[in-house]
Structure 1
């Protein structure tokens, strides 16, 4: 029972109980024309990060306009490429719900103090490594802990924890970059929780969700859902082409697998041993090179593979990058 309690605490970062709710800061600033423009912060640079410690990992991904693995943290972006870590000198926002796109990335979260952005950020997008942020939706009004997007950018999903004029409670999707929203009906969804979402890299109508009772899959923007796994605890998932890469906890073991949603065929992937109370929290695959993948854990470990999971490099341990 003790292990079960520890595991449940660990996966709270990947599973959302809508019934519990979450308070979002609401800005009372009225929209202006300036708010709809990208905002540039002076003295923005990307510099080498020789040592750092990440307190909270908010997401990972491979933006299509760069060659690096991006790690979103509570103090901004960290980027890893060719054995070297870099970071931004400003715009060190608390990026929450980070998603890599072909053109850059999108995120929600809270701004770095003194940068002039409203809190919360709503949904913002960057095509220049975080130098400028374009406001997509609900800027200054809502923070989204759970977001998902196709790599191509043609399908965007959020979990609304509090209903408002634009969004219904639960999962909402947009096909016009957050301009308008529709509620996903979630027909045949029988799980008792909502969790992490993933979207097909090229087809925004295809999405999946991890829950405490398996993976649910949809080909119609979440309006109809289908359970494609056994009723297992799934803590993280992402698409790898038409298949899904996911991590589950079964028989007190942390596993990494792929599943073909059409056939149900599953394949196991070997990876470094993880303690039972250190489950995988985020998974990412580079859509431009599906042999390149990475995952993070509850205790802020980060691993990356460049050969489809045959070999793994430990890039962060307990969130630390030590001075070499």
Structure 2
């Protein structure tokens, strides 16, 4: 493993600062985010030969990524509702423009937390809600009007929900890692043993409700017992993003001087590095999404509000958002 440079330590601080400000990151210590604004020029290396045209779709912040069950639509939550990328085109959801946080897409829709749109009758914060994939029907589940979870993830098919609870509330009596396997009706506190560092990312296996991963400033940690015991599977690098694939792998966004994307085989624990476009030295990966219908399709977003998509397992990449502006590939 490469050693962390002074610059790397600065990036770590940036990753954690964003997470702390937005989500009250969990701290564990036990052993038992430059691309040119014009999308038609200055495109980073390792992209395809497509022409990239700027659209009127924009977002100040990206709060998640996820593919719908048919594999055709990439959903991107922002401060003011959902953005949808489909058939190489961008559009904005016509449904309520809620500020979704802790966004976790599933095969039937998504779970989320966050804040309601200014013109909404919903309570603030949302607690945990369930929705269809485009946000047309919102169902409140728990802690409605009480908690905004930013550190939250759900199993794509299992619907198991894991949260990093920042402080005691009416259901969870302490800060820490909690999980529910019945759509937030009941919660169990996980021990989170052997996780070291300050948490910045969380992911849940698509099918196995017992399997979850946490990324911290010390690396990536994997659990197969509902988050009670973790094993460190990536060390010596801060991990800013995690996402399970649908073929027993874990996608890991980390930082060693510059942003890196890796694929961890969950059976052998072997790590494969994926070459990604050259990006700003202070830019890091914020979210990663695997496609449920095509294992070759991967998407990731960055701290500069750039989004890249690969259709060939990372051999080439297309930017579909540059500096918070949606782009379309011609």
User: Which TM-score applies when normalising by structure 1?
Assistant: 0.85
Name the CA distance, whole Å, in 2 between partners of 1:126 and 1:206.
Answer: 23
Partner of 1:52: 57
Contact 1:11 1:298 in 2 (8 A): no
What is the aligned partner in structure 1 of residue 35 from structure 2? none
Partner residue, 2:239:
234
Residue 77 of structure 2 is aligned to residue 72 of structure 1? yes
What are the residue-to-residue correspondences of 1:213-224 with 2, within 5 Å?
A: 213-224=218-229
Matching of residue 18 in structure 1 with residue 26 in structure 2: yes
Q: Which residue is 2:115 aligned to? A: 110
State whether residues 122 and 140 of structure 1, in contact with CA within 8 Å, keep that contact through their aligned partners in structure 2.
yes
Conserved 8 A contact 2:71-2:294? no
Post-superposition offset of 1:183: 0.3
Structure 1 equivalent of residue 162 of structure 2? 157
Say if 1:14 and 1:284 are closer, same or farther in 2 by CA, change over 3 A. farther
Q: Hey, what's the Cα distance between the residues in 2 that align with 1:128 and 1:279?
A: 27
Deviations 1:161-203 (A, max 9, x none): 01123113111000100000000111222x1212211111111
Q: In the alignment, what sits opposite 1:182?
A: 188
Which residue in 2 is equivalent to 1:28? none
> Mapping of 1:282-321 within 5 angstroms?
282-321=287-326
Cα distance change, pair 117–170 in 1 and its aligned pair in 2 (3 A): same
Q: Residues 257-308 of structure 1, C-alpha deviation per residue, up to 9 Å, x if partnerless?
A: 1112332211111111122200111111012222111000011001011221
Q: Does 1:126 align with 2:131?
A: yes
Q: Distance in 2 between matches of 1:109 and 1:286?
A: 25
| Corresponding residue pairs, total | 293
Give the Å deviation of 1:117: 0.9
Give the Cα–Cα distance (whole angstroms) in 2 for the partners of residues 239 and 315 of structure 1: 22
Gaps of 5+ in 1: 20-48
1:102-130 deviations in Å (ceiling 9; x for gaps): 00111111010112111111111112511
SS in 2 for 1:193: strand
Asked if residue 169 in structure 1 is aligned to residue 175 in structure 2, the reply is: yes
The whole-number CA distance in structure 1 between the counterparts of 2:137 and 2:104 is 16
Give secondary structure in 1 for the equivalent of 2:296: strand
Structural RMSD (CA): 2.1
In 1, Cα distance between equivalents of 2:222 and 2:273? 19
CA distance in 1, matches of 2:87, 2:16: 31
* Residue aligned with 2:197, SS: coil
Q: Which residue of 1 aligns with 2:251?
A: 245
Name the CA shift for 1:151/1:269 in 2 (closer, same or farther; >3 Å).
Answer: same
Which residue of structure 2 lines up, in the alignment, with residue 193 of structure 1? 198
Deviation at 1:249, TM superposition (A): 1.2
- Supply the distance in 1 between the matched residues of 2:281 and 2:114 (Cα, whole angstroms): 29
Deviation at 1:14, TM superposition (A): 4.9
